[in-house]
């Protein structure tokens, strides 16, 4: 089946479905300039995930190589701060606005989907722009502008190791409720998924009629089980990917290519098929 036919069929399924859910991975944000962590040019090529992908490793780096930790945080911040929503993010936002997308279940920790117009985003791996207290679990937003300025100030200083440790320690935000240390509210290696988000994602997957799987490797568990939950519930699965994944043999439609090139025509076809009163 040629791409145009697949796009036409999927848009018709979206129009007829009672519930449509998108499941997104690193591939959708890679088109916005955020390299996949494991792919070529990804962050794990420069920084070992065994050290920088978990809290104990980060804590040890803080004590032994604080300047290297600052470099890691700065590199990550600059990569994410430059990224802008791409046409795939925007297309999903349009689909939600027109009442044809129930939710986006994402493995990404960026805020591109929200900036693309989606409001119901289930973040399985947390949110880079949110902090959580280590003591009382209170959450609060991270101000990216102030954070960037703090990194610049730290980077401009040239203290010794102990001086840098003290400066980083002073820069770590404290909880406004209990005074505890705040940490990024993201899921590091070895940590469990946030329970509320995981249960919500399972419920959305098991109750949808169509799941669009966009830009995921299908390797990271337990998140990778989401399409299979949707399939077991009777949903049609459409995968949009640049490379075939472990999920590919089980899907109903596979569209090979960039999500930013495939999603807009799907949404345009849906919009053409909607009665005017359905557009809000």
Edge-to-edge strands, sheet with 139-141: 139-141, 126-133, 182-186
Give the residue numbers marked as catalytic.
125
- At 76, list the tokens: 């990550």
HSE, side-chain direction, 13 A CA sphere, residue 242: 14
- At 54, list the tokens: 């978990």
Closest C-alpha to 237, from 43, 36, 10 = 10
Q: Report the distance separating Cα 81 and Cα 144, nearest Å.
A: 8
Q: What three-state secondary structure class fits 186?
A: strand
Q: At what angle do helices 144-156 and 161-171 cross, to 10 degrees?
A: 170
């Amino acid at each position: 089946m040629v791409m145009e036919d697949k796009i036409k069929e999927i848009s018709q399924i979206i129009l007829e479905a009672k519930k449509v859910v998108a499941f997104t991975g690193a591939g959708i944000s890679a088109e916005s300039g955020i390299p996949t962590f494991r792919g070529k040019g990804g962050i794990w090529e420069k920084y070992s995930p065994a050290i920088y992908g978990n809290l104990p490793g980060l804590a040890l780096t803080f004590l032994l190589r604080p300047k290297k930790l600052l470099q890691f945080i700065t590199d990550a911040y600059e990569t994410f701060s430059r990224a802008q929503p791409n046409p795939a993010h925007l297309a999903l936002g349009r689909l939600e606005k027109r009442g044809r997308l129930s939710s986006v279940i994402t493995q990404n920790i960026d805020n591109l989907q929200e900036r693309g117009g989606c409001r119901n985003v289930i973040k399985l791996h947390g949110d880079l722009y949110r902090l959580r207290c280590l003591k009382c679990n209170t959450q609060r937003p991270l101000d990216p502008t102030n954070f960037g300025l703090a990194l610049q100030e730290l980077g401009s200083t040239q203290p010794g190791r102990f001086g840098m440790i003290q400066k980083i320690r002073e820069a770590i935000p404290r909880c406004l409720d209990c005074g505890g240390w705040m940490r990024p509210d993201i899921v590091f290696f070895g940590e469990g998924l946030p329970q509320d988000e995981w249960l919500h994602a399972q419920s959305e997957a098991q109750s949808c009629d169509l799941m669009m799987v966009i830009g995921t490797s299908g390797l990271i568990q337990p998140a990778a089980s989401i399409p299979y939950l949707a399939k077991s519930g009777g949903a049609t699965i459409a995968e949009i990917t640049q490379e075939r994944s472990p999920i590919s043999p089980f899907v109903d439609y596979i569209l090979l290519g960039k999500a930013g090139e495939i999603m807009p025509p799907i949404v345009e076809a849906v919009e053409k098929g909607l009665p005017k009163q359905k557009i809000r």
